[in-house]
Copies of this chain bind each other. A is one copy, B any other.
Amino acid sequence: MKKTIIINGIFVTVDEVAPLIRGCMVIEQDRIIYIGEQAPEPLEAYDEVINGHNRLYMPGLVNTHCHAAMSLLRGYGDDLALQIWLEEKMWPMEAKFSAKDVRWGTQLSILEMIKGGTTTFVDMYDHMDEVAQAVEQSGMRGCLTRGVIGLCPPEVQDAKLKEATAFARNWNGKADGRITTMMSPHAPYTCPPDYIERIVQAAHDLDLPIHTHMSETLREVLANEQQYGLRPVEHLEKLGVFTRPTLVAHGVHLTNEEISILAKYSVHVSHNPGSNLKLASGIARVQELQHAGVKVSLGTDSSASNNNLDMFEEMRLAALIHKGVSGDPLAVPAKEALRMATLTGAESLWLPDVGQLKAGMKADFIALDLDQPHLLPKTDFISHIVYSASAKDVIDVCVDGNWIVRGGACLTLDEERIKREFELCFEGLLG
């Protein structure tokens, strides 16, 4: 069993008891087995000794809402309202996506994510076998789900549900447990109620969680009320969605009553500040959700509405916008934004041993290069992570005890080939 020790490191742990440790961390197999000021054994006892001087170590970032393949649509149809952007730009192009497009679009995004310090992500898309294979190869962690849109004839609905179920069954727990799966009605406004109920039943049968878009725009909330006489939260409650562990993306337009319902069922919310701002969807009530006890994590959404997958930016946006909008400089402090992007993210995906640097946790961690002007002086490192760092400060990435990025280079994927294939796919979609 290989044992690695990092010495002379600064560790931001996201642990309340010891939030910052200067010293050593020991990794054995897939786990952190020690973190503390002194090396627990003489350095000769280790297979690898890493000098962590000028490195800032922290848990890998957890992106709880993404559609990775949509990197192919980055910059395609910017500065439009969500519904127009979806209906006139995204959906027509996405309709052309082949399995191959999804393969290379997803691989490009995974490359961007892991080089930028994201070690776990949620993906909701189509051609999910391609996504799962890419995750397996990359070495990162993925919580994956075939998102189904039910605005189609019954036989197409049946086929999609069958595909989603097969995917979820086949891939759950694969890649040494790095892949988990969920069931996903795309959104209340894209799935008829009876179809949502069938998806919930499938999730029950497989004992899997549910992921869905919910209450992203005011227009969608009003349409839900008009069509079903209920706002989205009560609508989904009535359809039994929340009887399963559930992660909803966005949750921008919520009443106090809706927040209470989400809290009652322990529904998790993926807050996507960059995407919500860019599409002018609005500003989620993050502080009220947190105050009610709802777990709020962070997601990038796709790079078509962001337009990158830099989780440092999502932390920063979460820490900044709620201050500016509420007028409260204490809103979402740096420490809380960091927690949302790490430990709370992992908890939101029901991963009990990810998201902290602590003995017993999975060895999912990243290192930032501290020897840079914008990360000096060496003072409040949590502040530096949230308010000053970016994806490009990440230099080393370890997931499940394996290095997947070292010295800024990805060790598991062929970056040059991915970029080349991705560009060919993009040209194909345009042609």
Tell me the A residues contacting B by CB distance below 8 Å.
71-72, 74-76, 78-82, 85, 108-109, 111-112, 115-116, 218, 274, 276-283, 303, 306-310, 313, 316-317, 319-321, 323-331, 333-334, 371, 373-374, 376-381, 383-384, 387-388, 390-393, 415, 418-419, 422-423, 426
Contact = CB atoms under 8 A, between A and B. Distances in A.
Nearest to A371: B419
A306 B78 CA distance: 26
A316 B324 CA distance: 15
A89 to B, nearest CB: 12
A371 B379 CA distance: 34
A280 B371 contact: no
B79 A303 contact: no
A390 B309 CA distance: 12
B325 A378 contact: no
Contact of A423 (B116, B327, B376): B376
Contact of A374 (B112, B371, B377): B112
Consensus secondary structure, chain A interface: helix
23 contacts: A74-B377, A75-B381, A75-B384, A277-B324, A279-B329, A280-B326, A280-B329, A282-B327, A283-B325, A307-B383, A307-B384, A307-B388, A308-B387, A310-B374, A313-B313, A313-B316, A325-B325, A373-B415, A376-B422, A377-B422, A377-B426, A378-B423, A390-B390
Report copies per complex: 2
Contacts of A112: 373-374
A376 B74 contact: yes
Contacts of A72: 377
B108 A373 contact: yes
B277 A320 contact: yes
Contact of A392 (B319, B393, B423): B393
A82 B324 CA distance: 12
A71 B218 CA distance: 41
A373 to B, nearest CB: 4
A307 B392 CA distance: 16
Contact of A387 (B78, B316, B330, B334): B78
Given A308-B374, A324-B280, A390 B387 contact: no
B334 A388 contact: no
> Which 6 A-B pairs give the minimum distances between C-beta atoms?
A277-B324, A75-B380, A307-B387, A280-B329, A392-B392, A112-B373
A80 to B, nearest CB: 6
Nearest to A77: B380
Contacts of A319: 278
A324 B423 contact: no
Given A79-B329, A376-B426, A377-B422, 7 more contacts: A74-B376, A75-B381, A75-B383, A79-B333, A108-B373, A278-B319, A280-B324
Contacts of A423: 376-378
